[in-house]
Structure 1
Amino acid sequence: MQLTDIPSEMRELIGNVKQITIPRQGHTSSVTILHTSSHSYVIKKTEHELYNEWLADEYKALKHLEETALPVSTAHSFFADQNARWLLMDYMEGVTLRRFLIDNSDQKQRDKAIASFGRCLKQLHECSCPMDWQHKHTEHTWLDTMISKAEYNLANFAVDGNAGLLTYLKENRPGWVEPTLIHGDFTTDNVLVRDGQITGVIDWAGAAYGDPRYDVALAIRPKASAFEEERDKDVFYDAYGKRRLTDEEYRYFEQGIYNFF
């Protein structure tokens, strides 16, 4: 991404850029870090119908959450043109928890970071949820919405799920739990760590008033050097302070719903 590519409205907000950094890229957007003499910003750009919608949702979520105590970035501007969407927000220092665990073999440091991860999710699930998010589910639950979106995504986009799995999800819904504020993609790639503590939570496109078990399932999904051992789950759950998912609940959310997003 070049400076000249950035919408002029955003360039005016940023000011004089001293340095540009290109971080490791994800699958849904291009990301650029812009450094001025006094501040650092992140710009995310998407150019796909589904990902454009997600970026718009992330902007709305960040605006809702900026007055909470959660460690989220301040969103400054959102811009849409014919094919692309742009989000300008503050840069947050840190490495992803996944990167931290890959690079760190010291058990005490690993436990410290994983415990912080669990406490962060506890704080998130206990945070007040915007009333208009709650009102969205007066007639349909979050799971109703997710299954409807899964059906649409299966018909219109390349997803990992299939028709048989979607039928299973419709017919085998888990028991009801009290909805909370959820992140919607609370993985080890979407939290930032400094000095063994979670300092930022990123990628809020899936935020909603929904089922907290979805966040937990994604949090503990095994990755290289992360949650491959039962110890990591024990440390996480001790810090999270709420009941463990059953195997059936984990499979329903991580191996089921998540495969359509």
Structure 2
Amino acid sequence: MKSYYELKHLLFKREQWKNIEGIIGKIDKLYMLAEQGCTSEVHKIITRKGCYLLKSSFEEKYTEWLKAEAQVLKKLNSQRQIAVPKYYGFFEEKLSSHLLMSFEDGIILTSALEQAKSQSEKKSLIRSFGHFLKQLHAISEMDLLNQNVDWLESQLIKAEFYVKHGQTEGSSQLLENLKANKPLPVEQTVIHGDCTTDNVLVINGEACLFIDVAGMTIGDPRYDESLAIRSFVNDEEYKKAFYEGYKRYKVSKKEFHYFDEGLYEFF
């Protein structure tokens, strides 16, 4: 555990800490969490008012993603349809960005599956995941998230930018292939935008909250679906359990290949 004072000098200018304490009260303790993604560092903050999460990014690409996540959470503060952390503030420094949000109990679905004691428990978790995602995709319109752009086209433009600036593992050849072989369009819905098992929280055996929502927008639900099943796509029992919960649409092998093994390579 790093002390509050060590982290104060490591992450922020003095006035930014004052801004944070002005929102959530005097910080008593601050812990770096063990589960970290490759794009950010995450700390749990404890004050007399409660527990909060501070998410920090330090590279240009990832600070932009964190800013996008902050904007999404801020928009969603006023609604109850989508379960996400509560937004409290966003702070930008010259070389870093920091998002303050509510700390939510639970563990990520990836960890829940690893800790499951039986195949039956794993299938129950996956079925719950499918049902939770189905509820999200049932929202066909939400003005808060509608950017009035062609989602797939905008993703391909971002991918091209990342290729030109060396910010992705995806190749220019793959990108040209994706541009030339777009799938037929489907009805757009609210999507998570990075719906892997790492980005869903589980409480009491049920998937119940989305995290890492920088890509949440109106878009193609097949992208979410493909990322959701990517870790068990070759396990027929687990896929069956997912679709027992999802019950909406089943991506074809071609669609899965396009979204998970194609488009996702750039993000």
Change (3 A) 1:77 1:129: farther
Q: Distance in 2 between matches of 1:173 and 1:228?
A: 24
Equivalent of 1:45, from 39, 56, 59?
A: 56
* Number of the residue aligned with 2:109: 97
- Deviation digits for residues 11-35 of structure 1 (CA, Å, limit 9, x no counterpart): 3222222332221211111110111
Instruction: Name the TM-score, length of structure 2 as normaliser.
Output: 0.90
Deviates more, 1:157-166 or 1:104-113: 104-113
Contact 2:76 2:144 in 1 (8 A): no
Equivalent of 1:215, from 218, 224, 240?
A: 224
Q: Distance in 2 between matches of 1:95 and 1:133?
A: 26
Determine whether 1:206 maps to 2:212. Answer: no
Where has structure 1 moved over 4 Å in runs of 4 or more? none
CA-based RMSD of the aligned residues comes to 1.6
Could you list the runs of 5+ residues in structure 1 that have no partner in the other structure?
Answer: none
* Number of the residue aligned with 1:247: 253
Q: Distance in 2 between matches of 1:231 and 1:95?
A: 23
- Deviation digits for residues 212-257 of structure 1 (CA, Å, limit 9, x no counterpart): 00000000002xxx55521111111111111210000000000111
Equivalent of 2:21, from 3, 11, 30?
A: 11
* Number of the residue aligned with 2:45: 34
Paired residues, number:
255
Equivalent of 1:186, from 173, 176, 195?
A: 195
Instruction: Name the TM-score, length of structure 1 as normaliser.
Output: 0.92
Change (3 A) 1:100 1:114: same
Q: Which letter does structure 2 place at the counterpart of 1:256?
A: G
Q: Distance in 1 between matches of 2:206 and 2:147?
A: 34
Shift of 1:173: 0.3
Q: Which letter does structure 2 place at the counterpart of 1:20?
A: L
Shift of 1:53: 1.0
Could you list the runs of 5+ residues in structure 2 that have no partner in the other structure?
Answer: none
Identity of matched residues, %: 36
Equivalent of 2:131, from 119, 123, 147?
A: 119
Equivalent of 1:108, from 96, 99, 120?
A: 120
